[in-house]
Amino acid sequence: MDDMEKWPEIEKAATEKRRELVLQGPVIDKRISSNGGLTSSIYSLALLNYLEVSQCPSLTEIHEEIQHLRNLQSLVLCRNKLASIPDGIGNLKSLKVLDLSVNNLRVLPEGIAQLRELNTLNVSCNSLEVLPEGLSQCTKLSTINISKNHITSFPADLYSDRLDLLSTLVASDNAIEELSGDIHKLAALKVLDLSNNKLSEIPSDLSDCPKLKEVNFKGNKLSDKRLEKMVNGCQTKSILDYLRGKGKARQGEDRGDADSGRNADKKKKQQQQRKKKGKAADEQDEEEELNKMVVRILHVSDAPTAITVKVSAEVKDVRPYLVCCVVRGMNLKAGNALKRFLVAQTKLHDDLCARRTTATIATHDVQLLKGPLVYDVKPPTQLKIAPLGRKEMTAVELIRHLQLEADELRKQKKRQNVTGLHKYLQLLQGKAFYPCLVDAEGHVISFPPITNSEKTKIKKTTKELFLEVTSATSLQTCKDVMDALIVKMAELNKFTAEHQEEAGSDGEGDSPQQPVATTETSSELIIQQVRTVDQDGNLKVVYPSKTDLLKDTSNLTVVW
């Protein structure tokens, strides 16, 4: 395959030593068709850590030379017509995100099992009948999406305690006939979607998954008709409670007295564990009060003054998931507290949010918000926002400005990569509609995953923060990120309080006349729940709920 024409995007990426490259849409597809495939020069861009080739029906294969892109961390090859993926993909040892969704794949290469850093695997909307063995070797896997395929069963090693970070498993719209009781070995599992499959039984062992918060078994013809009725209308907790009770009854029938003895042993072990926990709690109580962080959850969701967010139906196909809350008690005034908070948010974006590919955080000053809010979509030419540090402009103008700035930065400073908002531009390429959060006056205050508005920007004087997390991955992803953000805020507040205490009343730039607050009041956060509702006012989600903020953090105490 020889290139019949030059590809300017690739020449530019090579000349400017870029780390990101996005090729998508009709223009690229026409080139691929006339060239007989992707230009081979793409495989020489050794510095790339983000590569996306999408929405190209003429793309039916990827060359084995893909293995030369050893620095790739994200490989997105969605919405093409790929019939195969080369086994050499297993040589991409730094790969964290692999998206092969909406293609014509019938098999996956065994090399995927060699991707030890892989965090997210999306192979939904293909024609797969089996998954490759060895996925348990990808011990950092957090999210697996295999929905809308022809898979009949999970490989045995998927039920492995080695996958102790796997939190989301989406396998809806397949032909899966059995779910093994070994599912309980996935200790971090929070979301399990097996809707529209061919299950007849749900193992009672599922109730032993310690962190499971969301299950979906709708569309399966279960032999237990009571359970089938429950999965079509009940919440996760009710289903798990039923399975737990059913499991105990079955144990009693099958094991008789032997089971009673085993239950006694289990009860004894639980008592020992509680005793150990009690001892650990006593030891923690002996720690200085400064090493405690308290988060109080304020239940005011139904109050007339409470902020609500209405979600439009149109966001479903763009960026469907959103959770919000209000935080009081965050000390941003002292010294570098605001700067530390913004740095922490950036780090969460880069790490937990996978450079905003899985989720995006936005923060607002509650005093500058005018509710109720609406989470909606707009065409790029109609979405107007005053981005942070800029005058009001349309999304099209903003993206163009950012792209020009990125190009100029590369030329002036000879950078291999760009920073700030510029590095997220590829996340919107090819989108017909952009997501946005709109206030009661029609102003766009947030444009994920790019920026929020100067109108609601937080400052040192901000006393209440409105936190917003959006995602195209899952609702649980939003909750996990929000949990992590609040934990980080509590840590920062404790740090600020500690240093104020050490510095005295005039420490960290505060006024000498201002008294030092006590450690408890200065580091305590109050979280006000925010309701997210659909267009008819029906509740979609409230955050935080009783199942949120359950982090294993010794110095975070949640008071309900």
Q: How far apart are CA 78 and CA 59, in angstroms?
A: 10
pLDDT in tens, 225-276: 888 888 887 677 888 888 888 766 555 554 554 555 555 565 566 666 655 5
pTM of the model: 0.56
Among 141, 112, 146, smallest CA distance to 127 is for 146
**b/e map of 269-280 (b: 16 or more CB within 10 Å)?**
eeeeeeeeeeee
Which residue type, as a one-letter code, is found at position 86? P
pLDDT in tens, 399-439: 888 878 777 766 665 554 444 555 566 666 667 889 999 99
Q: Which residues contact 147 (CB under 8 A, 6 or more apart)?
A: 124, 125, 170, 171, 172, 173, 174, 193
Chain position carrying tokens 């396998």: 171
Cis peptide before 544 (omega within 30 of 0): yes
| Cβ–Cβ under 8 Å, residues 469 and 446 | no
| Cβ–Cβ under 8 Å, residues 187 and 161 | yes
Among 229, 170, 206, 124, smallest CA distance to 475 is for 170
CATH number of 8-248: 3.80.10.10
Mean pLDDT by 10 residues, the chain (560 residues): 66 87 87 90 91 91 93 91 93 93 93 93 93 91 93 91 91 94 92 92 91 89 88 80 74 51 59 56 42 64 68 89 92 90 89 82 93 91 88 88 75 54 62 90 91 92 94 87 90 82 49 38 78 88 82 56
Q: How far apart are CA 519 and CA 140, in angstroms?
A: 38
| Cβ–Cβ under 8 Å, residues 52 and 427 | no
| Cβ–Cβ under 8 Å, residues 167 and 206 | no
Chain position carrying tokens 């293909």: 126
pLDDT for residue 183: 93
Chain position carrying tokens 């009940």: 234
* Token output for 105: 């794949």
| Cβ–Cβ under 8 Å, residues 444 and 309 | no
pLDDT for residue 293: 63
8-248 and 289-377+435-559 share one fold: no
Chain position carrying tokens 């969605």: 78
* Token output for 346: 């950036």
pLDDT for residue 248: 61
Q: Which residues contact 130 (CB under 8 A, 6 or more apart)?
A: 107, 151, 152, 153, 155
CA 318 to chain CA centroid, Å, is 15
| Cβ–Cβ under 8 Å, residues 307 and 543 | no
Q: Which residues contact 76 (CB under 8 A, 6 or more apart)?
A: 50, 51, 52, 53, 54, 97, 99
* Token output for 545: 């709920």
Plot region of 134 (φ>0 → left; ψ -120 to 50 → alpha; else → beta) = left
Chain position carrying tokens 């730094």: 94
pLDDT for residue 389: 83
Q: For the chain, state the CA radius of gyration.
A: 26
Q: How far apart are CA 191 and CA 204, in angstroms?
A: 17
| Cβ–Cβ under 8 Å, residues 331 and 560 | no
Plot region of 420 (φ>0 → left; ψ -120 to 50 → alpha; else → beta) = left
159 secondary structure, DSSP code: S
Q: How far apart are CA 56 and CA 439, in angstroms?
A: 37
How, if at all, do strands 444-447 and 451-452 pair? antiparallel
Listed by start position, the domains of the chain span 8-248, 289-377+435-559
Chain position carrying tokens 């937080």: 458
User: How many residues in total does the chain contain?
Assistant: 560
Class for the domain spanning 289-377+435-559? alpha beta
Q: How far apart are CA 305 and CA 289, in angstroms?
A: 34
| Cβ–Cβ under 8 Å, residues 523 and 294 | yes
121 forms bridges with which residues in the sheet?
Answer: 98, 144
Which residue type, as a one-letter code, is found at position 429? Q
